[in-house]
Structure 1
């Protein structure tokens, strides 16, 4: 028995890691992850690709003036994946912050993602462990551009008090990295200012010291960062994994599993900005 005991620990760790990978791909979407060296990386790549595709599909629906519901349907999947502590480092290395940015960015018509999406992503960002002593992590934050988006939400009068509070906590934690100095409000203002002019819709001057909603007809991305969802890049992420056939089967399976719910979901006119009902034609 004593000889077998040492071998149990590695086996237990391997089983635990496999469970983490399986959990990452569940929420009614279990992947038959290959038990190989690249298994974790493949699971993370697929997970992030699914989140990117959801953002892409919502952008497409919004252009068609239809309810953008894909991110909302994938919220539990996002939360489950980012909550796996042992996989967080791998997720960050594969561009997790950039993916979360696409979930927070405005839709093509300038409206915000729904309130539940904003709240979930902001809380995921606040809960995820990031070692800022690592230079790679600091660079990942800067390159992702998510800091500018969070700053907007921390100052926006369109945002809920709870979400603004979380966003401000993130700005406080990330400030020295985002600005290379401090989190002084004077340094944040460059991300919030826009030329003094009246909105066509509200007639209110947009040169206020706090963040304001840009005119959807002429978006000002100095106030709200531009959405840069690239469908080609999204699909390339999956293609580069070398598992196109597996991905196609997964998509088919997901469609079958979602089919019973699709009619009910489409019958509901969901608010895009989380505060009002959009008019869809």
Structure 2
């Protein structure tokens, strides 16, 4: 019986492609119904302070259906992005959905073809991914996937080429120059001007030659290697005298006191002039 059913399915696919499209439409409609109902049930459970497990129960089936390559375009056309947004959106108590749900859906979104700006706005998927990217409790791995998604979606808006290798050398240099900060741009402009002046130095009579002294301007270059210091440090004057210990200090103080007492001794003077050197 199973073989006959499979043969009938093969014959129907060979005979009429419209049957396959109708089958996919039915599957997608069931998927969206399951996803929307599970998301609504989880919101109600969360309001009642109960575990929100309906989405987790349906996650294996939805992952298997989203991975089917022949259904991707039909999924996007049918509005599956709105259902994905309902699974990624925070719950009523502002808590994030389960980690497995976020990881599985973000990985699948990376495998999807480029999504139009209108599709992102209508489904609210762009806001949901940006919310996860900025959330402080989101994991580093998920934030990296969110950043990739945001970058991929922003390229068509800013007319940026997704393939960096396809750009020429001049285009890459110009692109890097445009992304530099303002100060670095000024230094790059000055470097270009110096290179042009070195190639063709101006002479008296040439346009642009100035017959006056230029005002010195501060350098705005970023130095990577520190210049070598030419002045050698002079060694500090170290006293050659040995430090005396406490006994030697006391002995020196005693000797100085003794000398002072001798110089201040009283001298007897004779009124009659005795013992005077004449």
TM-score by length of 2: 0.49
Give the number of the structure with larger relative contact order, counting CA–CA contacts within 8 Å between residues 6 or more apart.
1
TM-score by length of 1: 0.49
Could you say which structure has the larger radius of gyration? 2
